[in-house]
Structure 1
Amino acid sequence: MKEVTVQELKKLIDEKADFQLIDVREPHEYQIANLQGELIPLGQVEANTDKIARDKQVVVHCRSGARSGNAIAALESRYGFTNLYNLKGGILAWSDEIDPSVPKY
């Protein structure tokens, strides 16, 4: 599975790169802390494949990287996606390494 680090994600954001950021956590988690990604909870990912770009880089994240990894594995094996990248360490790593104002929970 392809991954990006939080430093690489920050660079994509800072450079205003053309990519999609998807958050597969639950709505209550998104309210606590988010990176302004598009919220598609893990249980709804497969029903929303039409909302996931196939023509550009897509970074998928969750709290730690486990749920987003599961989402990517399913999307790659069942739907043939080849442009998905897991955010290594998830929003916890973002809080630790990029922006400590992002709450950890």
Structure 2
Amino acid sequence: MRKNAQSRHRAARLRAKVESIRTKSRDELLEDEARLCESVEERRSRKNNRSRERALEKKMVLERILAKPESERTEEEAGMYEVEIAARRRKNEGDRLRRERLKKM
């Protein structure tokens, strides 16, 4: 079983519910349904903003490390750099494989 399976299942149910609510016209919406859609959008927005902030912080740290000559970097900075480069490599590989799968469809 996948990690956080119950949470993923609950989130999928919520997404399906919100999607079905969005197919309704504004006049047909109940107050609870409108509040649910609004709260889901607000949560997504907060999550996206947090992710964006973390990514910018990570980018600033990496730029600071790259600004130093390799010989002046601490062990910790060198390790952070290696971890980040490995993560980028994995992401690029995953993106490439996803694009290939989409082309085959």
TM-score category of the 2 structures, normalised to the smaller one? under 0.3
Structure with the largest fraction of strand: 1
Structure with the largest fraction of helix: 2
TM-score, normalization by structure 1: 0.22
> For the pair shown, which has the larger CA radius of gyration, 1 or 2?
2
Higher relative contact order (CA 8 A, sep 6+): 1
